[in-house]
């Protein structure tokens, strides 16, 4: 059975504090990168999940400001440390947060316990072999568009799990791959883009 005690025995961590719309959150982050990187090939399955991305903070803040509709279900793909799903659930949204990397799932579970998160389920899901049941009103993701080879799998997840009339909300940095992905999404979905800038308090 998963517990914070067993998690802290397994990993060396630091804690990052974050405030979203007046609420305080705390997240375990890995103290170092080395133990999660393949020393023979550092680009093989590089652990992008290991840090708190600015795009995740922006998405979490956006979701925190949405009107809560209790009947709506959110699917978070690539949940990483769990930040977006945990914050969204704290503001009343029902979230299923998914990730394929076992270490990332452990951090997400630990962070959910640390923040006493409710309204959230954390599940394993591989984009290439998705196995969740049901469909969702909203699919959310932050900094998931990096490899063009992932495009077909991600689009398949969208088509498989988004309800008719549903919405996809992505927070991505402006990169060649993210722009190309949005172009391809335009073949199947109506796209609206907004630019949001992350500014830390001085």
Give the pLDDT score at 62.
Answer: 97
Give the pLDDT score at 202.
Answer: 39
- Cα gap 110→140, rounded to integer Å: 21
Q: Rg of the chain's alpha carbons, rounded to an integer?
A: 16
**Nearest partner of 64 among 23, 27, 116, judged by Cα:** 23
User: For the whole model, what pTM was predicted?
Assistant: 0.91
Tokens of 151: 């495009």
Tokens of 162: 């988004």
Give the pLDDT score at 197.
Answer: 63
- Cα gap 168→49, rounded to integer Å: 20
Tokens of 120: 């959230």
The third-level CATH classification (topology) of the domain covering 4-32+48-185 is: Rossmann fold (3.40.50)
Determine contact, residues 55/80, Cβ cutoff 8 Å. no
Give the pLDDT score at 54.
Answer: 94
Q: Where are the beta strands (DSSP E) in 21-134?
A: 23-30, 73-76, 94-99, 120-124
Q: Can you list the residues of the chain whose pLDDT is less than 50?
A: 202
Length of the chain: 202
Alpha helices by DSSP H, 121-166: 151-161
Determine contact, residues 108/85, Cβ cutoff 8 Å. yes
> What b/e string do you get for 8-27 counting C-beta neighbours within 10 Å, with b at 16 or more?
eeebebeeeebebeeeebeb
> What b/e string do you get for 156-169 counting C-beta neighbours within 10 Å, with b at 16 or more?
ebbeebbeeebbbb
SS3 130: coil
Q: Residue 164 is inside which H or E element, if any?
A: strand 162-171
Give the pLDDT score at 26.
Answer: 98
Burial of 76 (0-12, 13-18, 19+ CB in 10 A): buried
Give the pLDDT score at 130.
Answer: 92
């Amino acid at each position: 059975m998963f517990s914070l005690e067993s998690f802290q025995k397994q990993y060396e961590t630091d804690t990052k504090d974050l405030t979203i719309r007046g609420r305080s959150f705390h997240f375990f982050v890995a103290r170092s990168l080395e133990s999660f990187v393949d020393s023979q090939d550092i680009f093989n399955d590089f652990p992008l999940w290991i840090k708190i991305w600015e795009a995740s903070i922006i998405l979490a803040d956006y979701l925190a400001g949405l009107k809560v509709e209790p009947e709506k279900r959110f699917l978070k793909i690539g949940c990483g440390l769990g930040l977006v799903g945990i914050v969204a659930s704290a503001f009343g949204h029902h979230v299923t947060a998914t990730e394929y990397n076992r270490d990332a799932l452990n951090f997400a579970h630990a962070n959910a316990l640390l923040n006493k998160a409710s309204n959230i389920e954390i599940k394993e899901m591989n984009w290439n072999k998705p196995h969740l049941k049901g469909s969702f009103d909203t699919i959310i993701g932050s900094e998931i568009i990096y490899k063009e080879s992932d495009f077909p799998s991600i689009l398949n997840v969208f088509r498989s799990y988004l309800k008719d009339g549903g919405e996809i909300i992505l927070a991505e940095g402006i990169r060649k791959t993210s722009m190309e992905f949005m172009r391809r999404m335009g073949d199947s979905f109506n796209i609206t883009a907004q630019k949001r800038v992350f500014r830390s308090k001085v």
